[in-house]
Structure 1
Amino acid sequence: MDRIRSIRVIPLIRKLEQVFEGSTYRIVSRNTLFVRVETEQGVKGEAFGGDEDIYQEKVVRVANEFLAPRLIGEELQPVEKLWEKMFSTQGLPFHNRSIHTLDMVNHAILMQAIAIIDVGLWDTLGKSCGKPLAEFWGGSRNSVPVVGIGGYYRPGGELELRQEIDRHLELGLAGIKLKVGRCTVKEDIRRVEFIRKNFPKDFVIACDANQAWTFGQASQFARGVKDLGVEWLEEPLRWFDQMEGMKRLRQVTNIPIVAGQGEISSWGCRDLILNGCVDILNVDATIAGGITEWRKIASFAHLIPFAGCDS
């Protein structure tokens, strides 16, 4: 089996010409990571992943200085064994307080560093074997519908929203994941009504609040759009009410509840499922330890009748 010769993670940053505003955040630049893995037989795996901005430098340092050296000379397969080797790395450049919530940032940095290398390892393995990764992972479909993230809050209002969705349709997208939560609940309901009234009935509308609402606001929104064919409601509740709050919200609406994008491990996703908090997991593999960890999450989700897993 081919062995790993080198791994290098490179940070990329591009300042945006316009600001994108969701309910709880502003995007002024796009950050991502690029990884290149090379084997002793000359196979090169490459991948992009992640959008970390605040801690990007630390993620890159952990990946290049602490994780990559542990894998040099190791056999490329199985990737799962390499993942465990990274996850068990000691002596990382973190000042942990042994206080769960205060140390979560450090754990998140580690999992993102693992993720970018893991994605690169999988690409390298696929190229080494001359086989699409979808076949490695048991994929059975030739295509999936794609929705575009949009509806960011901008001065143009309904006119700009109409132009944006027209562009989605031109590109052949199936729908939009609409940002909600920055304005009033009533205004966001009207935005959903505008889309449903002015575009094809089969145009998918999903809504993403990015943890903006209280339980009362989220349930008010769910009632207001219950007849508008909303595909799912994503991260509706504030950070401190993820477990009990989303469980309660699922009980008062038939709109599927989505969360998991902020989880950094299979254990966090396990808890969302077992506590009845979600209908669908939207795990970000670039945050939650890469493809290897995502596959564990997906396998567990398939065992639970109400749960699905997306990435």
Structure 2
Amino acid sequence: MAHITKVEIFMVDLAPKVRRTDAIQSFDSQQTPFVRITDADGQSGLGYSYTIGQGGSAIMALLRDDLIGKLLGREAEEIGGIWFDLKRSINALAVGAVSSLALAAIDIALWDLRCKRAGLPLWRMLGGARQSVPMYTTEGGWLHIDTDTLVADALAAQARGFSGSKVKIGKPHLAEDRVRLQAVREAVGPDYEIMVDANQCFTLSEAKRRAAMLEHLDIAWFEEPMPADDVTAHAELAAGTSVPVAVGESMYSPSQFKDYLASGAASIVQVDVARVGGITPWIKVAHMAEAFNVSVCPHFLMELHASLVCAIPNAPWLEYIPQLDSLTRAGMRMEKGRAYPSDAPGVGIDWDMDVINAVRIEDFNAEVSA
């Protein structure tokens, strides 16, 4: 083992690769905080998290003022202890998005460092359950996209070997959502999965109405039908529909997932490694879901989640939303609609540091060293 001697933080702002809209927001930018941790042997690990549009400056301030200084002198291998101690040190801010996203960037950097020191890729370090995973695509299903284009994208994804397509719902009237989904189902046939995502826009009564419509179209799951903090409403919805209810991208601690699983309120867990606070809590949620016989289909961050879902046995799909191509030397490996995790030591992302250094936002650079 080797203790931590230096921590650096910096941030870049990524423009979305395509226009992305849903029932409650538009994805205008991806502010991306980074943490690099170096140990006494000179090995380093790089971690990151993200925000959709706003909040990156708050994460950077929390990292700079309250977290990274506490890493100096800690044994880098003691990841669980570090995560717990850091979370306890900002207990008044937890559970919340800013604290979890800051902790995630540190935690991912520590796992990257651990894997590099061990000479192992993350997916093997955490269990090595499989060597590839099927993908479904979200990139062609945004709410502003017209029906003909939705159909064309789903057919193109099907031809490329994808297992399914996600379509955003939440149009003002149920009939509008039905027309879009019916057109896609008729085009792709019965063997191709269609997922839908409401991005928390419905009341319970409206979610029930939409779920009844979704049953007739054999929809794979109904994602974020209502505000994520309403466990009781999700449990009532799940009990009354055959469509699996998917939640998780707007949850920030393992305990929140525990409440959903114990209440029977979720059939698909969409734990996001950045929003839940890093790899350390992510793997806890994945194992907890397995104990409840529930699948894990994580939200976004496919380049990192590819390694995580291949580490566990209960992850049937990976979401395809590419975002890091401009910051990496080589993208995630994909063949015939399947994703393959990197075999290189580390978390599996081949960062292009020359590009990253060139696009850093100078106001957010900070460093501490022993």
TM, length-normalised to structure 2 = 0.74
Contact 2:35/2:46 (<8 A) preserved: yes
Equivalent-residue separation in structure 2 for 1:36 and 1:65 (angstroms): 16
Contact 1:179/1:207 (<8 A) preserved: yes
**Residue equivalent to 2:359:** none
Equivalent-residue separation in structure 2 for 1:16 and 1:134 (angstroms): 27
> Per the alignment, do residues 163 and 9 of structure 1 end up closer, same or farther by CA in structure 2, a change over 3 Å counting?
farther
**Residue equivalent to 1:38:** 38
- Counterpart of 1:33 in structure 2: which amino acid? P
- Counterpart of 1:176 in structure 2: which amino acid? S
Equivalent-residue separation in structure 2 for 1:191 and 1:76 (angstroms): 50
Q: Which has the higher contact order (CA 8 A, sep 6+)?
A: 2
Q: Does 1:215 align with 2:204?
A: yes
Equivalent-residue separation in structure 2 for 1:3 and 1:168 (angstroms): 47
How far apart are 1:72 and its partner, in Å? 1.5
Count of aligned positions: 297
Q: Which runs of 5+ in 1 are unaligned?
A: 97-102
Equivalent-residue separation in structure 2 for 1:16 and 1:42 (angstroms): 35
Say which SS state the counterpart of residue 28 (structure 1) adopts. coil
CA offset digits 1:46-72 (Å, max 9, x no partner)? 234323432211111212332111112
Equivalent-residue separation in structure 2 for 1:46 and 1:74 (angstroms): 17
- Percent identity of paired positions between Structure 1 and Structure 2: 25
Equivalent-residue separation in structure 2 for 1:217 and 1:107 (angstroms): 28
Query: Which of 117, 127, 134 is matched with 2:123 structurally?
Result: 134
Say which SS state the counterpart of residue 230 (structure 1) adopts. coil
- Counterpart of 1:303 in structure 2: which amino acid? A
Say which SS state the counterpart of residue 60 (structure 2) adopts. helix
**Residue equivalent to 2:234:** 246
**Residue equivalent to 1:99:** none
Select between 118-127 and 33-42 the one with higher mean Cα deviation. 33-42
- Counterpart of 2:65 in structure 1: which amino acid? E
Select between 115-124 and 293-302 the one with higher mean Cα deviation. 293-302
> Per the alignment, do residues 168 and 297 of structure 1 end up closer, same or farther by CA in structure 2, a change over 3 Å counting?
same
RMSD: 2.2
Equivalent residues in 2 for 1:119-198 (5 A)?
119-150=108-139, 151-154=141-144, 157-169=146-158, 171-198=160-187
- Counterpart of 1:235 in structure 2: which amino acid? E
Query: Which of 255, 267, 290 is matched with 2:255 structurally?
Result: 267
- Counterpart of 1:275 in structure 2: which amino acid? S
**Residue equivalent to 2:188:** 199
How far apart are 1:250 and its partner, in Å? 1.1
Say which SS state the counterpart of residue 5 (structure 1) adopts. strand
- Counterpart of 2:74 in structure 1: which amino acid? E
Q: Does 1:286 align with 2:293?
A: no
Equivalent-residue separation in structure 2 for 1:246 and 1:58 (angstroms): 31
- Counterpart of 2:249 in structure 1: which amino acid? Q
Say which SS state the counterpart of residue 28 (structure 2) adopts. strand
Q: Which runs of 5+ in 2 are unaligned?
A: 299-370
Say which SS state the counterpart of residue 145 (structure 1) adopts. strand
Equivalent residues in 2 for 1:79-94 (5 A)?
79-90=79-90
TM, length-normalised to structure 1 = 0.87
- Counterpart of 2:219 in structure 1: which amino acid? V
Query: Which of 228, 243, 252 is matched with 1:255 structurally?
Result: 243
Equivalent-residue separation in structure 2 for 1:301 and 1:89 (angstroms): 28
